[in-house]
Structure 1
């Protein structure tokens, strides 16, 4: 009981010991996409807030092959006021046997699971960030073993956590519906934008970066993991139709990691004889991505499901016209800054793409709206609101 009393006394005077579970970013082979950057930027901004709190960046894994990647990730925070803790206890001890995480993490006031999962705690408080409910809403678009894992562990995490953080009102509604949790238990905190995403004045530097990756001439840009819920196959079909019927000079540039069923995308490109018009880039280092956005004539994200949609705000921050789906979180995130279409309606998608490509005035108006809208997303704001969640949870 002494530890519980100590934690509450600390909280009463404003001090908290906060564990940030960064395990996902410490695993060898982790995809550097939306959740990765959420964990990195939120941790970085929380540490910069200071406020006298003690932060611990925590990772737990068994296999030694992850150690090098873990140390590499944690080294990015050198100089920050924080501790790091690497545990080598088998994860199933906490996931399946429900042993309290204090065994590995030590004493704390808050344990924040940043990637859909939070372990059982015995004396402190727990917060979990759940990014979306894809495993319940569109299970057929995801790997079956991943769906089963999430159904078991994310569902349990949501029910046992003291507070849930999510990244859009759309995701909050899904969480409350599918997991049957009360609305007041879920806080919505939007993602921010990395400062590297901005309009680049040095167009020669942009061109050199693109040439390094084999990109020349005008292009339409897509950024996202190659998996069914991104709706890439339908985008390829529409692009092929536009290319055939309107003779546009643009290529379609697809940037992203290979996800579930990614091979169907390459088969579709070959089936439509679009190998010369579509370039699949795979993963691009983050430092080169601003040039990819700045060089594009428009950005398109035709997703059937997004919990947030980080590439949309990255594109807006670079002043690029955005054409995106009217489904899921995207209308909420884009606001009036982009053109929306129904993602299963081929004619609507085609019409929206052609409108931007053929109308310079519309394209310029969307660029201006994009820049204005992008200013509403900040990692500093996200960190401040997350700290407010911690204080509310601890002080009850």
Structure 2
């Protein structure tokens, strides 16, 4: 991880939680795969995608011996024809104005990293032209009859959920499948432990611009106010935090301070979020209540899991399934009240259906044999019939108990 620490410092990437999370993901998505798989880098606006793209390139250069440069293309600024010729290059006479052979950006990225930023903005046709490149690392310059190969590490960057876009028909599923390595950046508010570190860094940077030679940073109270505001308002962007902190530093009037008190941030917080530092008590109460509920839940899960010799993860998964079942009672074509009786009935049916799927049985005989060959291991015929009837009753409501008929 020495290469990561060095590169984080070189790129000025701040935030202990962010650095730890990104290092782990880059290790799995890039280094473990030896840079052979295309990478999907996703994150909301302002979460640091450009910095992480540079990090991927630098770490791959140090750890994988790559010696090329990083080449970035903003896919939102190019038409289909310009995108293709810019990326792949073209032959003389390929189109009007092509007076000479021109190498594309892929040639420039040889041995390095190609970053396709805002890839979600490409048309479906342009996405289709990337299939061979992403899948086989081959491409054909415009107007050429021969294929060329590239060894560039390819990074597809987006601030939108590409999986959701495929469901909407706005992004090609076959292209998404050709980029199996994934790096997902957390929004700022969800890594609250980084907020104080970032705010201090940005405040010192702005203080340097103002010539404050003795400045140490915001006070602990001011940092707590910033953290509370950003979490409460679900701030995703590091850039917004930087803007907010710099606004507060440059708006400060008076003698050069050693630190900035909470009051120095009240106006900018109100400008950004409509709430000042005086709202911190409400944020603190909400945060304490949330953390208390999570702590109680964790203790309860641990106690029940130990009591019944169940893995905690299994217990939590079952609870999530039950929550979905409970929510489904009042929806769908046949809504029913979300009562205890109805939830237990729905849970029982879902359990029987899942058990049948687990067995892989085509009939009741196979279902019974799934549990063993001895009579004391198998469920009675009447029980197998009841489960079969409950799960497939609409198909064969009159079949006698113990039938061995296969499902159609």
TM-score after normalising by structure 1: 0.29
Bigger RCO (CA 8 Å, 6+ sep):
1
From the two aligned structures, give the one with the greater strand fraction.
Answer: 1
* Structure with more of its chain in helix, by fraction: 2
Give the TM-score taking structure 2 as reference length.
Answer: 0.28
